[in-house]
Structure formats: structure tokens, C-alpha cells
Amino acid sequence: MSKLVIEGLCKRFGNAIALEEVTLSVRAGEFFCLLGPSGSGKTTFLRIMAGLERADAGVIALDGRVITRGTKHVPPEERQVGLVFQTGAVWPHMTVEENVTLPLELQQTSQGDRKRRAHEALETVELKGLEKRKPSQLSGGQLQRVALARALVTNPAVMLFDEPLSSLDTRLREELRAKLKRWHRDLGLTSIYVTHDQAEAMAMASRVAILSEGRLRQVGSPEEVYLKPADAFVAHFLGQANFVNGIVTSGSRDRAIVKSFFGNLTARCEGRIPCGSSVTVVVRPEDVKFRASDASGGWRIADVEFGGTITRYLLKHEPTGETWCATELGRPTCSSGRTVSIEAKDAWILPPAADEAIEERIWGEGASVG
């Protein structure tokens, strides 16, 4: 059952398009991530959901109740949504408890009920005992948990998160990421989480929506959008990707043989593709397998970067100048300058409509191992 339904959402700031015909639904209990680069429209989307910004067009319904349509605009305090900002946005002159009870005061809840619900929310986010502290006495992670407790205290129908972990250091970010997932599950929340961090979205989400220049590019599970990207932007944005153009020589409903400079590639596809079709194939770095070889295949290792858990290799095809990235777990097994033979263990053919948008070798030019 859909908890939140958005249809045809549009927003412009002057001549700049912030959101264009965004349509999606969020299911009850989902941890739904909205992923995109800076300026893609993510925060505008969230502000419209919260009622802090008016849409130019479109419909938003929460639990079957329309909260945005045309001139209809339910104010933020009546939308039953909780919002956690990037910086926490707690009041510095108030104690932790006063910050958390503030929304309940605005709702004119009794003092006893405010205190009880605030203590429950603070216990949930593991801040019990810090009720009387001021924000200046808290760490960055604790401040974000105060903001979360304040959002939870009103029992919202949907939780909205605007990059709440982006200002934290790596260790704390990973720790809070795990806790957010647990709290979401234990409390039975429905959450929309905005981020530009691909790894964060892939690790946390039950489904991911990729947004670019105000347009929705793809919606699906983390596995689906990574392994079956809808277009070149999605493939590239969700991690490093190698692209190769070629011609389909044979195939079936879900597989095709593609002839390219690389040789013949067997690639997954969505539906049968006619022989002779020009296509673009995506190969992820972890699916590029290579070994040292004296054979004249034209490939050599141009650079090696050891990253601790993985090693990245930049491979160059000397006859064409194409560069590919490959990764291996653990320490380097080949050194820079070594000639190698390579093969693709897995590959995906971009849907034909998406294939038209990618220029030949657009991702190969100036590629780097980082």
C-alpha cells in the first residue's frame, strides 16, 4: 500500500527548472532514498513534501489525504511529517528537553504529556540522561539525534531526512547510519532520505530514486539501479563504470552478443534487441577480470591505486586509447606498465532510448583510477 503518492510535481525558480513532472510513490514502512548530485532538486522536493515550499503544479497525497494540489496547500504543522535537516537546526539557548518538546508546545499538548513523550523519544535515540544539557555541550552526532527525537515526538506519518549525516566524520556517519536503519525498522517508520552519497543510499534504502536536473531518471531497488541502470547518467553516478559501443550480432530475450573493439561481449539486456542494432554496454570495474599476459591484446596497466580493502587499476587499450577501470579485493596482484589480457564477467546493455544520449567514448576520455 502506498503511504505517499506524488504525481506530476513541478517547481521552477525563475527560468531554472528545480523539478519537472516528478511522479513516484512511497510504500508504508519503506526507507526510500532520493539520490542525486548537488543542484538536482532533492532539497526542493523535500521542502515541498514538508510544506515549506509551494509546488507550481502536481499532487501530493499522504495516507489518501491530498496535502498539495493546485491552490490547496496544507501548512507544515498539519502535514504529519517529521523533518531532520543537514545541520540538526536545534535552538542553542534551549536544553535538549526543551528542543524536543517545542513541537508539542506548538500543538498545545499538556505539560505532562510533553515531558513523557520527550523522554520516550530521547530514550529511543539513546540520549536518556542528557535532557538538561545545552546544544553547546553535545557532539555533532548527539545534536543530530536531538533533531531526530524532536521530529519523532509528534508521531509523524512520514519522516523526511535532508542529508542528516553529511557533516559528520566517516566513523560517526557509519555508526549513525546503522542506528537510523534500526530505529526506522523498530519504530515502523516510513522514511524519505535525501543524499548525494551513493554508498549511503545503496546501504540504507529499500528503494532508490535517482534525480538529475529536476528529472527522475530511475526508481528501483539498490541492486536493480546498480546492475540495470536506465541510462548512462545513472550508471556513472552510482559508481565507476566502463562504457563500450558496439553492434548486436545475435541474442535472446535477456542476452545479446555485442561486437566491439573489446571483442565479442555477452551482455544482459531488457528484451530482445534486433541484430545490427548499435548499443552501449556498461561493465562495472569489479566485473573486469585480467591477468598478466605477453599476448599482443593491446591492454596494459596504466596506473595502480591501493585502497586498503580494494585495489583499483586503470587499464589502457593502446590501439584505441580507451581506458577502463578494474578493481580487485585486497593487495595489488599486477604492477603498473604490465601487459594484460582482460575479459568482462558481466555486462549490461543500456536501453535503446538511453543509448542515444551517450556520446562515443564520453566516459573514456580523461578517465582516472580515482
Residue 331: give its domain's CATH number. Answer: 2.40.50.140
Sequence-separated contacts (24+) of 97-100 with Cβ below 8 Å: 97/122, 97/131, 97/132, 99/135, 99/146, 99/150, 100/146, 100/149, 100/150, 100/153
Averaged pLDDT for residues 239-254: 93
Q: Give the CATH number for residue 48.
A: 3.40.50.300
Q: Tell whether 370 is covered by a domain.
A: no
Indicate whether 7 and 105 sit together in one domain: yes
Q: Tell whether 30 is covered by a domain.
A: yes
Q: How many domains does the chain have?
A: 2
Give buried/exposed letters for 268-291 (b at 16+ CB in 10 A, else e).
ebeeebeeebebbbbbbbbbbebe
Indicate whether 218 and 266 sit together in one domain: no
pLDDT, tens digit, for every residue of 42-99?
999 999 999 999 999 999 999 999 999 988 899 998 999 999 987 767 888 999 999 9
pTM score: 0.85
Structural domain boundaries, residue 305 = 240-349
Indicate whether 201 and 252 sit together in one domain: no
Q: What is the mean pLDDT of the chain?
A: 89
Averaged pLDDT for residues 39-43: 94
DSSP 359: P
How many angstroms separate the CA atoms of 148 and 150, rounded?
Answer: 5
Indicate whether 212 and 140 sit together in one domain: yes
**End of a domain among 191, 206, 232?**
232
- 10 Å CB burial of residue 1 (0-12, 13-18, 19+) is exposed
pLDDT at 355: 43
Predicted confidence (pLDDT) at residue 362 exceeds the cutoff of 80: no
Q: Tell whether 368 is covered by a domain.
A: no
pLDDT at 113: 86
pLDDT, tens digit, for every residue of 117-174?
888 899 988 999 999 999 999 988 889 889 999 989 888 999 999 998 887 888 888 8
Q: In angstroms, how far apart are the furthest CA atoms of the chain?
A: 80
Indicate whether 226 and 250 sit together in one domain: no
Of residues 108 and 206, more confidence is placed in 206
pLDDT at 359: 37
Predicted confidence (pLDDT) at residue 276 exceeds the cutoff of 90: yes
Indicate whether 186 and 252 sit together in one domain: no
**End of a domain among 232, 263, 289?**
232
Indicate whether 67 and 188 sit together in one domain: yes
Angle between helices 96-106 and 140-152 (to 10 degrees): 20
pLDDT at 357: 42
Indicate whether 166 and 60 sit together in one domain: yes
Indicate whether 139 and 21 sit together in one domain: yes
Averaged pLDDT for residues 210-229: 96
Predicted confidence (pLDDT) at residue 216 exceeds the cutoff of 90: yes
Q: Tell whether 216 is covered by a domain.
A: yes
Predicted confidence (pLDDT) at residue 200 exceeds the cutoff of 60: yes
Of residues 243 and 295, more confidence is placed in 243
pLDDT at 167: 78
Averaged pLDDT for residues 10-19: 95
Q: Tell whether 367 is covered by a domain.
A: no
Closest CA to 335 of 370, 289, 290, 304: 304
The answer to whether residues 26 and 219 touch, using CB atoms and an 8 Å cutoff, is no
Mean pLDDT lowest among 169-183, 188-202, 274-288: 169-183
Predicted confidence (pLDDT) at residue 193 exceeds the cutoff of 90: yes
How many angstroms separate the CA atoms of 137 and 218, rounded?
Answer: 43
pLDDT at 15: 93
- What is the share, in percent, of the chain residues with pLDDT greater than 70? 94
By DSSP bridging, strand 310-317 and strand 299-306 are: antiparallel
Residue 360: Cβ within 10 Å count: 11
